[in-house]
């Protein structure tokens, strides 16, 4: 990864490349999209845009106040569901609810993520970054796969990060119990894991009509970044993308025609 690539993560890179973008004119009427981490930042912008394109969007989040705001502020068919995706019990409950209520699921956007300054463990005994960014997405996706296949052509979009270039996955230390904990490294490892899962799911789902892609939103200014990386946010603020700019590729992967012709890409 060279310096020009890093510069491309900023709003300068977005403005440069967006000159060649065509507006997404897809009609998503009749399609159902599930977006995790939908109550703020990239997830909220993705929910807003896909609802504007006509999709029924099910936005999943932890905060009931923000979820209520999501339903009231976003125009279109938006349903908010509260679930903590760091807890596998909540993930299973969410999947069971969706399978019982949604006759088809056309797109799953695995967006929710955390970057924590200190190592914490969920009440189920999983390191929280691993649980939220990787284990929860893995379980939710696998539980919903039968409905996605039944709904094909369908798509899975995994929101990774350019930070994944900085770390390898550590199967021998997934819960960060051996190495001294660093929040940015734990985050990067899980984001690397998302890209690996994308490739594995693409192989597994070949021929089913379900395609899988991972993406990097660039460096976007969101409440999550401000909380998790306050120094980075302060120093880089003039160069950070807006949440809408960061969500742009998520929306394209969910709605445009071209991503349906390939799979397993980052």
Give 41-64 pLDDT, tens digit per residue.
Answer: 999 999 999 999 999 999 999 999
Q: How confident is the model at residue 129 (pLDDT cuts 50, 70, 90)?
A: very high
Catalytically active residues, by annotation: 187
Residue 82, pLDDT > 80, answer: yes
CA-atom Rg of the chain in angstroms: 17
The per-residue pLDDT for range 97-128, each reduced to its tens digit, is 999 999 999 999 999 999 999 999 999 999 99
In whole numbers, what is the pLDDT of the chain averaged over residues? 90
Q: How confident is the model at residue 243 (pLDDT cuts 50, 70, 90)?
A: confident
Calculate helix-pair angle for 183-204, 136-150, nearest 10 degrees: 20
Alpha-carbon distances of 223 from 118, 136, 212, 236, 243, rounded to whole Å: 18, 21, 27, 14, 10
Average pLDDT for residues 10-28, to the nearest whole number?
74
Average pLDDT for residues 237-246, to the nearest whole number?
74
Strand-strand pairing, 78-82 and 56-61: parallel
Q: How confident is the model at residue 2 (pLDDT cuts 50, 70, 90)?
A: very low
pLDDT of residue 245: 87
Q: How confident is the model at residue 217 (pLDDT cuts 50, 70, 90)?
A: confident
Domains by residue range for the chain, with CATH = 28-127+136-213+239-261 (3.40.50.720)
pLDDT of residue 160: 95
Alpha-carbon distances of 3 from 133, 160, 219, 223, 266, rounded to whole Å: 27, 20, 14, 26, 19
Question: pTM for this one?
Answer: 0.91
In the numeric block, which tokens belong to residue 147?
């409905």
Of 266, 39, 220, nearest to 47 by C-alpha is: 39
Strands (DSSP E) found in the chain: 32-36, 56-61, 78-82, 107-110, 154-159, 210-215
Residue 196, pLDDT > 70, answer: yes
CB–CB of 215/157 below 8 Å? Answer: yes
Q: How confident is the model at residue 13 (pLDDT cuts 50, 70, 90)?
A: low
Of 175, 201, 179, 99, nearest to 144 by C-alpha is: 99
The per-residue pLDDT for range 146-165, each reduced to its tens digit, is 999 999 999 999 999 888 88
């Amino acid at each position: 990864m060279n310096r020009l690539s890093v510069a491309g993560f900023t709003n300068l890179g977005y403005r440069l490349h967006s000159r060649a973008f065509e507006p997404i004119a897809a009609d998503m009427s009749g399609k159902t999209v599930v977006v995790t981490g939908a109550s703020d930042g990239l997830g909220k912008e993705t929910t807003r845009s896909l609802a504007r394109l006509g999709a029924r969007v099910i936005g999943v989040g932890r905060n009931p106040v923000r979820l209520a705001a999501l339903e009231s502020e976003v125009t279109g068919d938006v349903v908010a569901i509260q679930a903590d995706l760091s807890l596998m019990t909540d993930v299973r409950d969410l999947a069971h609810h969706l399978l019982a209520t949604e006759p088809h699921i056309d797109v799953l956007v695995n967006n929710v993520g955390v970057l924590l300054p200190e190592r914490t463990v969920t009440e189920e005994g999983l390191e929280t970054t691993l649980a939220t960014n990787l284990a929860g997405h893995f379980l939710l996706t696998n539980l919903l796969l039968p409905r996605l296949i039944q709904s094909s052509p369908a798509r899975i979009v995994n929101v990774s990060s350019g930070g994944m270039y900085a770390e390898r996955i550590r199967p021998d230390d997934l819960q960060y119990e051996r190495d001294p904990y660093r929040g940015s490294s734990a985050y990067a490892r899980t984001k690397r894991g998302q890209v690996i899962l994308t490739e594995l799911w693409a192989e597994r789902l070949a021929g089913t009509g379900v395609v899988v892609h991972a993406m990097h939103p660039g460096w976007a200014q969101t409440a999550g970044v401000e909380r998790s990386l306050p120094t980075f946010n302060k120093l880089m603020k003039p160069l950070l993308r807006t949440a809408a700019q960061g969500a742009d590729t998520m929306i394209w992967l969910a709605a445009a025609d071209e991503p349906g012709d390939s799979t397993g890409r980052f």
